[in-house]
Amino acid sequence: MIDGSLPRTRMPAGLEPAQLRAVAALGLDPRAFTALPEERFGVPFRFPYHLGLYMAVNAIPGCFAVIDGPDCIYRKAEWIHGKHDLCSTLLDVGGRHRVVSTLMHSAEVIKSKGEAVVKRLRRIGQLPEAELVLVNSMPHVQIIGTQYDALIAEVEGELRQPVFEVPSRALDGDWLDGYAEVLNTLAARLPTPAESEPIPGSVAIIGLLMDRTEADHTANVAELERLIADLGLRPISTWLSN
């Protein structure tokens, strides 16, 4: 039309009727809006794999993680510590962080045989507060195929803490995968009594997303366990619950 207005029967390109109604409800001109194209293979917005791994470590008291990679791992830890979770203990003002970098930068990767990992494991083993140690790597270290199981076997007899490798899936996984892989690793590797049998009436809660250790989340754990108890059952473990 000459005045630039749209015919009454014509809708702005790409907008569905429901979208038009939503725009009109806000008192806005629908001609100012166009629907974004949906790309089947577009790049999704996802938080990184290690962020989920750190969330899991944060929710397990006494758990430490050795990350084979540069010190940029501490920047990701800062996304949780003091920001997302005001009660986080991932980082320590005295330097006894629960996420530990091997400081492996790109120029050293090709020469690495894992000595830095072993060194960090031995140091963590001396900390009285350390009860569990996980080992993982950054993508640029992952591609050289370091045999972390062999490195862990080298120090197993020296350390009182169990040491487990968490699969390094930073190239294909996101933060939910990182959190889940910690749970999968613990479920597969934590020892159980040889003659253990199911205890009738007992319930374990597995897979709770404990992304913060602040009071509202610990209260969620308490409420879940209370609900189970009200059913006449006995809650024995919640993963993860801080």
| Strand segments (E) across the chain | 63-68, 99-101, 132-137, 163-165, 202-206, 234-239
Surface-to-core class of residue 172, CB atoms within 10 Å of its CB (0-12 exposed, 13-18 middle, 19+ buried): exposed
Higher-pLDDT residue of 78 and 31 is: 78
Contact between 137 and 156 (Cβ < 8 Å): no
- 15, two tokens: 């907008």
Per-residue pLDDT tens over the stretch 165-199: 999 999 889 999 999 999 999 999 998 877 778 88
Residues 163, 124 contacting (CB under 8 angstroms): no
More confident residue, 39 or 72: 72
How many percent of the chain have pLDDT more than 70? 89
- Asked if residue 183 lies in contact with residue 56, where contact means CB atoms within 8 angstroms, the answer is yes
Tokens read off for 8: 């009454």
pLDDT band at 6 (very low <50, low <70, confident <90, very high): very low
Are the C-beta atoms of 237 and 204 separated by less than 8 Å? yes
**CA-CA distance, 67 to 49, in Å (whole number)?**
12
> pLDDT digits over 135-160, tens only?
999 988 888 888 999 999 999 989 99
Is residue 213 over pLDDT 90?
yes
Taking the C-alpha atoms of residue 134 and residue 64, their distance in angstroms, rounded to an integer, is 6
- 125 residue type, one letter: G
CA distance 123 to 12: 64
